[in-house]
A and B are shown apart, each in its own frame.
Chain A
Amino acid sequence: MDFATAIQILDSAVRLMTPLLLACLAGLYSERSGVFDIGLEGKMLMAAFTSAAVAFVTGSPWLGLLAGIAGSMALSLIHGLASITFMGNQLISGVAINFLASGMTVLLGQKIFGLGGRTPSLTGGGRFGEITLPFADSLRNVPFIGPIYADLISGHTILVYVAFLCVPLTWWVLFRTRFGLRLRAVGENPASVDTAGVSVTRLRFAAIAICGILCGLAGAYLATGLSAGFVKEMTAGRGFIALAALIFAKWRPWNALFATFLFGLLEAIANRYPNLEIGPITIPSMFMNALPYILTVIILAGFVGRAIPPRAGGEPYVKER
Chain B
Amino acid sequence: MDKMPKWADVILTPLISLFLAMAISALVILAIGESPWLALNTMVEGALGSSYGWGFTLYYTTNFVFTGLAVAVAYHASLFNIGGEGQAAMGGLGVALVLLYLPLPHWSIALPVAMIGAALFGAAWALIPAWLQAKRGSHIVITTIMFNFIAAATLNYVLVNILRPPGSMDPSSARFPEATHLPALTDMAAAIGIDWGRNTPVNISFFVAIAACLLVWLLIWRSRLGYEIRALGRSEPAAIYAGIKPVRIILVTMLISGGLAGMMAINNVMGEAERLLLNAVEGAGFIGIAVALMGRNHPVGVFLAALLFGFLYQGGGELALWTSIPRELIIVIQALVILFTGALDNMVRMPLERLFLSLRQRGDS
Contacts and interface: CB of A to CB of B under 8 A. Distances in A.
Nearest to A92: B342
Contact of B328 (A82, A103, A290, A294): A103
Contacts of A78: 339
B201 to A, nearest CB: 24
A39 to B, nearest CB: 10
A99 interface: yes
Contacts of B149: 237, 240, 290, 293
B343 A284 contact: no
Interface string A230-263: 0000000100100110010000000000000000
Contacts of A81: 344
B334 A91 contact: no
B150 A294 contact: yes
Contacts of B335: 96-100, 102-103
A82 B150 CA distance: 30
A295 B30 CA distance: 45
Contacts, number: 149
B142 A100 contact: no
A243 B286 CA distance: 18
B150 A293 contact: yes
B157 interface: yes
A91 B338 CA distance: 11
A294 to B, nearest CB: 6
A297 B139 CA distance: 10
B139 A88 contact: no
Nearest to B82: A95
B12 interface: no
A120 interface: no
B346 A301 contact: no
A144 interface: no
Interface string A102-146: 111011101100001100000000000000000000000000000
B4 interface: no
Interface string A269-298: 000000000000000101101100110110
A102 B338 CA distance: 14
Interface residues of A, number: 47
Interface string A76-99: 001001110011111111011111
Given A243-B145, A302-B138, A92 B156 contact: no
B289 A88 contact: no
B123 interface: no
B332 interface: yes
Contacts of B286: 95, 99
Interface in B323-359: 324-326, 328-336, 338-339, 342-347, 350
B28 interface: yes
Contacts of B137: 302
A89 B344 CA distance: 8
Contact of A247 (B142, B333, B339, B342): B142
Given A107-B329, A300-B138, A100 B339 contact: yes
A107 B32 contact: yes
B289 A92 contact: yes
Contacts of A48: none
Interface string B121-165: 000000010001000111101110111011011101100110000
A107 B28 contact: yes
A220 B236 CA distance: 44
A309 interface: yes
Contacts of A104: 28, 332
Interface in A31-87: 38, 78, 81-83, 86-87
Given A108-B32, A111-B33, A91 B82 contact: yes
B149 to A, nearest CB: 5
A100 B293 contact: no
B153 A309 contact: no
A272 B82 CA distance: 32
Contacts of B145: 38, 240, 243
A100 B152 CA distance: 22
A254 B281 CA distance: 38
Given A83-B343, A93-B339, A243 B142 contact: yes
Nearest to B329: A107
Contacts of A89: 342-343, 345
A88 B343 CA distance: 5
Contacts of A110: 32, 324, 326, 328
A296 B153 CA distance: 15
Contacts of B344: 81-82, 86, 88, 93
A240 B148 CA distance: 11
B82 A87 contact: no
Contact of B157 (A106, A116, A286, A297): A286
Nearest to B159: A286
B332 A82 contact: no
Contact of A92 (B150, B161, B293): B293
A290 B332 contact: no
Contacts of B313: none
B32 A93 contact: no
Nearest to A314: B139
B32 A284 contact: no
Interface in B45-86: 80, 82
B285 to A, nearest CB: 11
Given A83-B343, A92-B338, A301-B136, A117 B326 contact: yes
Contact of B141 (A38, A93, A97, A117): A38
Given A110-B326, A300-B139, 5 more contacts: A96-B338, A100-B335, A103-B332, A287-B157, A296-B142
13 contacts: A86-B343, A88-B347, A92-B293, A93-B342, A96-B335, A102-B335, A103-B328, A107-B28, A107-B329, A110-B324, A287-B157, A297-B138, A300-B142
Interface of B: 28, 32-33, 80, 82, 128, 132, 136-139, 141-143, 145-147, 149-150, 152-154, 156-157, 160-161, 286, 289, 293, 324-326, 328-336, 338-339, 342-347, 350
